[in-house]
Amino acid sequence: MSAVPEIVRAALGSGLLVPPPPHRWPAVARGLGSGAPGFVTLLRVAAARAPGRIALVDDEGALTYGDLLAEVGAAATALHRSHGVAPGETVGVLCRNGRRFVVALLATASLGADVLLLNTDFRGRALAASLEGHAVRLVIADEEFVPALDEIPETTIASSALRDRWGTVDPAPREGRLILLTSGTTGTPRGVPRDPAPSTLLGMTASVIARTGAHVGYRTAVAVPFFHAFGLAALALTLGLGGTVITQSRFDPAVALDRAATHRADALMVVPAMLARILEAAPPESVPPVVLSGGSALLPALADRFTARFGGVLFNGYGSSEVALATLATPDDLLRAPGTVGRPVAGATVRVLDDDGAPVPTGITGRIFVGGRPAVGRYTGGPDKARVGALIATGDLGHLDRHGLLHVAGRDDDMIVSGGENVYPRAVENALAAHAGVADSCALGVADAQYGQRLVALVETADPARPTGDALRDYLRGSLSRFEQPRDIHFVAAVPRNAAGKVDRRAAAALLATLDPEGAAR
């Protein structure tokens, strides 16, 4: 062990990887060089330990660690020789979940270039805005996205064309950063640069392992987009454990569950909107022993229904591109308080503060702040997040209960003041979700001549004999205060959501503008 390079020690320092047998150490040492550890380090260590183990299962089949490492090497050679990608430059990746995303990300990072992870839902101005300010050298895209990039000046290369097997390229002294984009649902997407070193996420990883029972060789079915912070963390965790990532390019609940069962997945990573679709499609015994939800709000009624159907398998995480995973709720936490996002993970500090930066009492709603090594308070080419000391604002409102569990009320810019009362759209959405005839909903604030603002609800129904607006108002009177009642209820074909399952409030507001201006429920 004394002759093992420092980079190997760093990669194994978290204790996540079981050291390989002695005869495998030379292979580990040869593959790593002297660069600082990152995502590619995790792959190289895992490939040295067990090159024949399945690393990835996607729409194209299975790929071993040895084959994945070879694909990454061939792609890095192509990027360097044919396109001149060098340390310090930025390469965009616009790919769906699968090997092409993983290869593009790791090949770029291995050259010391930054990787800008592009949202596959973005088109036109949103896509152009994501590229602006990052000095992107080129974009690696799946063929389906190439036409969307025709009007954008950056060079585009197809993900399927990244192969050059004539020779190899030495890894850069330091892997490139990973730049995640905010969802853009309330404004222009902003880049969040993250250090690729696994040690920055050590506390988060340790907590996930301790609370879920993850282990070396863990098999993870990842339905969340890899470009999303949650999906990227699931990918890193699984590679770090030398496990198998099971994914698909487009989420289909039946296919996802069948693939998870075929490959004996230990865990399934989803956003809450996927949980609702799984409830419709899955028999009771068909989910893995761990189902981790994150990326957007888990409605208490949905948590209750999922647990009643599948048992105590559901976990709920809370975080963002800026703060990584901040809290994690276990099945016991959700049984005690459905919808809670749980307790802080190791190394994270979570505080609920008032507008003056002072802690609020237990049970009182305030602004949520998070601190710790993974927290990133600065954007690439944009304004910084609000800070109080070493703590960074998440942009959410919430409260801590007497058990120390965090509850999120919603975005601070979603809150409205109606007749002098603070009103949170999520309270309406939580209440509507408990109605058997409501498949999905969102609430928005609009101007009101009498009260300043009022709430409007968009409702997607689940029952062919859908409830009427009056019936829903009667139902809500039993669970919401007078000032929380939505004045207007509109029935819509679908509530606008982005790829991460979050309500797209700009799209919802645009949809609302096309509906009856009187707001009458139809």
Q: What is the pLDDT along the chain (522 residues), one digit of tens a residue?
A: 333 333 334 334 444 444 555 555 455 444 444 445 788 999 999 999 999 999 999 999 999 999 999 999 999 999 999 999 999 999 999 999 999 999 999 999 999 999 999 999 887 777 888 888 788 999 999 999 998 888 787 788 888 888 876 777 888 889 999 999 876 555 567 888 888 777 777 888 889 999 999 999 999 999 999 999 999 999 999 999 999 999 999 999 999 999 999 999 999 999 998 998 899 887 766 899 999 999 888 999 999 999 999 999 999 999 988 888 999 999 999 999 998 999 999 989 999 999 999 999 999 999 999 998 777 767 786 667 788 988 999 999 999 999 999 999 988 888 888 877 888 888 899 999 999 899 999 999 888 878 788 899 999 998 777 888 899 999 998 888 888 889 899 999 999 988 778 888 889 989 998 886 444 444
* Of residues 28, 52, 51, 53, the one with CA closest to residue 41: 28
Q: Tokens for 297?
A: 């709000």
SS3 25: helix
Which pair of tokens denotes residue 356?
């003056």
Nearby residues of 134 by Cβ (< 8 Å), 6 or more positions away: 90, 92, 114, 116, 179, 191, 380, 381
Q: Is the dihedral of CA 166, 49, 260, 297 positive or negative?
A: negative
Domain boundaries, the chain: 6-194, 198-411, 416-513
Phi, psi (degrees; rounded to nearest 5) at 298? -95, 110
Exposed / middle / buried, residue 56 (Cβ in 10 Å: 0-12, 13-18, 19+)? buried
Q: Which residue has the tokens 């992870």?
A: 117
What's the CATH number of domain 198-411, 1.10.10.60, 3.40.50.12780, 3.90.1150.10, 1.20.1340.10? 3.40.50.12780
Residue in the block written with tokens 């454990």: 241
Instruction: Report the CATH fold assignment for 6-194.
Output: Rossmann fold (3.40.50)
Q: Do domains 198-411 and 416-513 have the same CATH topology?
A: no
Residue 171 tokens read as: 């890894």
CATH 3.30.300.30, domain 416-513, yes or no: yes
Give 455-466 as a DSSP string: EEEEEEESSSSP
- CA dist., res. 358 & res. 352, Å (int): 8
Q: Which long-range contacts (CB under 8 A, 24 or more apart) does 255-258 make?
A: 256/221, 256/223, 257/281, 257/282, 257/286, 257/287
169 phi and psi angles, rounded to 5 deg: -115, 130
